[in-house]
Structure 1
Amino acid sequence: MIKKGIGRQIVMHYFIVIFLALMLVEVVFLFAIRAYYYDTIYNMISSHIDVTVRSALISTNSSDYNKEEYLGQIVSLLKLPESELQILNGKGEVQISSSGFGVDKPVQTSDIPQALASGGTAKWIGRQATTGEPVMAVTTTLQQGGGQVYLARFVTSIEKVNQRLTEITLVSMAIIATILVIVLIVSIGLANSIVRPINNIIAVSAQMAKGRFDVRVEGDYRYELGEMGSTLNYMAEEIVRSNQIKDDFISSISHELRTPLTSIKGWSETLDSGGYDPDETRIGMGIISKETERLIGLVEELLDFSKLQQNEMKLTMKRVELRELLKEIVLNVWAKAELKKVKLRVESDGDYFPVYGDANRLKQVFLNLVDNAVKFSHESSVIVLHLSIEDGWVRADVRDSGIGIDEENLNRVKDRFFQVNTQGGGTGLGLAITQQLVELHEGRLDMTSELGVGTTVSVKLPLLEGEPQPEAEPAVQPGLPAETEER
């Protein structure tokens, strides 16, 4: 007995479908074979009637014989081996029979009125009233003239035919039973071929549910089962990777928080002890202020990420001129770029680049991108902020000629908590937040990079409708010479 489950369902459904199909074929076959046998008997009698009746009527003249002699002559000419020939009048009364036995009651089977009505041949299948034997009766109009109607009725037994049909039925049922046994065996094998991989996948998923993400679905399964196993393995790998990233993030953020807290605590204790001149006190307070701002920045980044993950980020949407916003970005980052002697240059293909968005969040996007560009640029290099319009989109490119990113890390650099250089500080959330902010503005963020050559980050935002299209201009912003930083 197959235990409850998908295996039993497969076996039962497969078995029922085959069983119903075989039963349908069996019924059609039995009806066809029965009709074949019965039609063969009928056609044989009909052929005999067609051949003999005409010749019998021509060779026999009723005026030459009395009634009994005439009917006897007809019987001797028309009789058929293994069949009883009855001559009936129009009322169905048997006038004479080839068997020699008389019939007291008129024959009332359906072939009599049918033959009389059509003037041709009719058939009836049933049981003999006196013996109960299954018979077939074929009746034809023999003579009709002078108001006198005679019918020739051939009655033949079909008991042997029915016995043969019963034998055929039993043989066919035995064949069906054999086929069903084979189907049952095959369906059980088929069910096991599906259930075993599923049980294996269930066992592996149960292990994963307990926290064992080192286990994998083994076996080269095909089709949907193979896809299910591969998906489960991929999920485990992603969980392991996410856990590793989370652990790296916790380690990194712990370090990021501990360093400024240590400085704040140290200078607070130092200043609390007193005895320092105003210059030293001012230096200490400056360090405390700087580290506090750093802590605030880390906390705000974490809060922004949390809001984005929970879809709680609220945007104040209005018209934003992207070119003016990039000017502000250049001014904000200039001091940091100056320390590395990195030049910032804004280029544009027109005067107006309006978008519909939250100015503060867009400023956060480009501040993060430009800050990263400065962080990973070589000294005395140039960072270009280029604006253009493409098919209803405002495109802003941030291009640097810094250290670049290899292909493997480029595919993961926008993942949350991921950092190419874990020693560079930060939470690894900057680009993840940036991408989600761009998507909230119905835009796209793309990155291309080559190790040792540089990186280009492209932000595409929908152009504000109804604004004039810009005309082509020189690559460098008007009023600023080439290779000159914008301040």
Structure 2
Amino acid sequence: MIKKGIGRLIVLHYFFVIFLALLLVEVIFIFAIRAYYYDSIFNHLSNHAALTSSYFQKFVNLDSEEEYTYLPEMLKLFSLDNTELQIIDKDGKVLINSTGFENDRTIQTSDITQALAGNVGRWIGRQPGTGEQVMAVSSPLQIRGEKLYIIRYITSLETLNEKLLNITFLAVGIGAAVLAVVLMFSIGLANSIVKPIKNITAVSAQMAQGNLDVRVKGEYRHELQELASTLNFMADQIVHSNQIKDDFISSISHELRTPLTGIKGWSETLSSGSFDPEETKMGMQIITKEADRLIGLVEEILDFSKLQQNEMKLVISRVNLRELLQETILNVWTKAEQKHIKVKLTGEEEPVWINADPNRMKQVFLNIVDNAIKFSHENCWVNLNLKKYDHVVEVAVQDTGIGISEEHLMRVKDRFFQVNPLNGGTGLGLAITQQLVELHGGHMDIESQLGVGTTVTVILPLSKDDVTETNQDKI
């Protein structure tokens, strides 16, 4: 017996569908063949009845006595083998029949009624006395346009019914054989599906227990192969994510340890006293700088956590994007001057309005421009190009820095990913920037060539008022 599960469901459903289909076909076949044989008998008897009626019309000029005496002659001429022939008057009384037995009973079956109406009638039922199933076919015999007699053929259906019963048994036997073959086939089909599923389930159970080195092996068909490939890909991604997480923990631990070491060292040094004001001032500046660095790291992690949990709340207002970019340049001016890098804003001269959270949008461009300066050589330039279109505004931040290889370019926006972990940071900057841009209804693209430079393009929707003004200017 098949165990409970998807295998049993497949077998039962497949078997049930084939069973219903076979049952329907056999029922239709049996009724069709029964109707065929019954109609054949009816056509044969009705043709003889029609011939008898036509022949009887030749004697329409005879008087009634001659008509009655001719009836026995008609029995001899038109009787059939294994068939009883009766001549009945219009009241349903049997005047004469081919069996020779007298029948005083009045016949009132439906074939008689149809014959009196001028049609060829058929009746199937049980013969009184014997109880066997018969078919009766009746046709009117007319004299001078008046229906005086009814000719009635009666034949037994018992032999035919036996043959039909044998055909039914044969059809049922064939159906049972087909169902047996279908059952075996469906069990094989179920096993071909269930066995791979069991293998995949066993592997997934090991993965759930933390063993991510196992993989689904073997070649499967169709959706099962897709499922196996997806599970293997998921395991690879989890391993990759765990590696990134471990690298991030290692990196962030180092990033946190460095400023904490500086803060702790200078605080212990300053607490010992015996320092002149200049040394004390320098120590306090270092403590402040490292504290700011710690705050930046923690805020970056908190922002990423909020974005991942969809808890980042934006305070939207109408923002002049050109003015925001100018403020961004001023914020990074000192860092750029230290490397002799020129940062300039080109493109639109007029205000460009967008609906955005000014603080978060400034965070986006500060991160992009800061990266451009960080990864550029000395005496280079960073250009912010502002362009306004019908419904969107484009900001392209271009640098002539070290660039990004094609291998790393596809992953540079992934969380925790760092092209060079030795440069410091959490690897969350671009991931946060990307999500903030998307929260504002825009998108960010990065193009880069190793050793040539990088261009980060941010596209944002214009404010509705600015869209209207742009269209009016075109008119």
TM bracket, shorter-chain basis: over 0.9
Specify the alignment match of 2:237 in structure 1.
Answer: 238
CA contact (8 A) 1:350 1:388 kept: no
Q: C-alpha deviations, 1:439-464, integer Å up to 9, x for none?
A: 12111111111111111101111111
Q: C-alpha deviations, 1:114-173, integer Å up to 9, x for none?
A: 1101x2311111121111122111111123459772111111112111111011111111
Are the structure 2 counterparts of residues 279 and 133 from structure 1 closer, same or farther at C-alpha, using a change threshold of 3 Å? Answer: same
Deviates more, 1:363-372 or 1:211-220: 211-220
Say whether 1:403 aligns with 2:407. no
Q: For the residues of structure 2 that align with 1:436 and 1:388, how far apart are their CA atoms?
A: 22
Specify the alignment match of 1:306 in structure 2.
Answer: 305
Say whether 1:469 aligns with 2:470. yes
Question: TM-score with structure 2 length normalisation?
Answer: 0.95
Say whether 1:190 aligns with 2:189. yes
Say whether 1:73 aligns with 2:80. no
Q: C-alpha deviations, 1:287-330, integer Å up to 9, x for none?
A: 11211111111111112112222222222221211111111111
Are the structure 2 counterparts of residues 254 and 416 from structure 1 closer, same or farther at C-alpha, using a change threshold of 3 Å? Answer: same
Specify the alignment match of 1:412 in structure 2.
Answer: 411
CA contact (8 A) 1:60 1:70 kept: no
Q: For the residues of structure 2 that align with 1:209 and 1:53, how far apart are their CA atoms?
A: 90
The one-letter code sitting in structure 2 at the alignment partner of 1:226 is Q
Specify the alignment match of 2:113 in structure 1.
Answer: 113
Q: For the residues of structure 1 that align with 2:444 and 2:425, how far apart are their CA atoms?
A: 21
The one-letter code sitting in structure 2 at the alignment partner of 1:100 is G
The one-letter code sitting in structure 1 at the alignment partner of 2:75 is V
Question: TM-score with structure 1 length normalisation?
Answer: 0.92
The one-letter code sitting in structure 1 at the alignment partner of 2:307 is L
Specify the alignment match of 1:181 in structure 2.
Answer: 180
Deviation, 1:65, is 5.5
The one-letter code sitting in structure 2 at the alignment partner of 1:107 is I
Specify the alignment match of 1:215 in structure 2.
Answer: 214
Say whether 1:436 aligns with 2:401. no
Q: How many residues align?
A: 471
Q: For the residues of structure 2 that align with 1:52 and 1:299, how far apart are their CA atoms?
A: 113
Are the structure 2 counterparts of residues 66 and 326 from structure 1 closer, same or farther at C-alpha, using a change threshold of 3 Å? Answer: closer
Q: For the residues of structure 1 that align with 2:334 and 2:304, how far apart are their CA atoms?
A: 27
Q: Which sections of structure 2, spanning at least 5 residues, go unmatched?
A: none
The one-letter code sitting in structure 1 at the alignment partner of 2:424 is G
Are the structure 2 counterparts of residues 429 and 133 from structure 1 closer, same or farther at C-alpha, using a change threshold of 3 Å? Answer: same
Specify the alignment match of 1:354 in structure 2.
Answer: 353
Are the structure 2 counterparts of residues 62 and 78 from structure 1 closer, same or farther at C-alpha, using a change threshold of 3 Å? Answer: farther
Are the structure 2 counterparts of residues 148 and 445 from structure 1 closer, same or farther at C-alpha, using a change threshold of 3 Å? Answer: closer
CA contact (8 A) 1:383 1:399 kept: yes
Deviation, 1:7, is 1.2
Q: How do 1:48-447 residues align onto structure 2 when only pairs under 5 Å count? A: 48-58=48-58, 62-63=62-63, 66=66, 69-117=69-117, 119-145=118-144, 149-447=148-446
Q: Following TM superposition, where does structure 1 have runs of at least 4 consecutive aligned residues deviating by more than 6 angstroms?
A: none
Q: Which sections of structure 1, spanning at least 5 residues, go unmatched?
A: 473-487
Residue identity over aligned pairs, in percent, reads: 60
Are the structure 2 counterparts of residues 104 and 416 from structure 1 closer, same or farther at C-alpha, using a change threshold of 3 Å? Answer: same
Deviation, 1:85, is 0.9
Q: For the residues of structure 2 that align with 1:471 and 1:260, how far apart are their CA atoms?
A: 55
Q: Secondary structure of 1:469's match?
A: helix
Q: For the residues of structure 2 that align with 1:414 and 1:470, how far apart are their CA atoms?
A: 35
Q: For the residues of structure 2 that align with 1:316 and 1:63, how far apart are their CA atoms?
A: 118
Q: C-alpha deviations, 1:61-120, integer Å up to 9, x for none?
A: 644965653221221222122211111111111111111111121122211111101x23
Q: For the residues of structure 2 that align with 1:220 and 1:25, how far apart are their CA atoms?
A: 39
Q: For the residues of structure 2 that align with 1:325 and 1:294, how far apart are their CA atoms?
A: 23
Are the structure 2 counterparts of residues 57 and 464 from structure 1 closer, same or farther at C-alpha, using a change threshold of 3 Å? Answer: closer
Deviates more, 1:90-99 or 1:278-287: 278-287
Are the structure 2 counterparts of residues 62 and 102 from structure 1 closer, same or farther at C-alpha, using a change threshold of 3 Å? Answer: farther
Deviates more, 1:175-184 or 1:314-323: 314-323
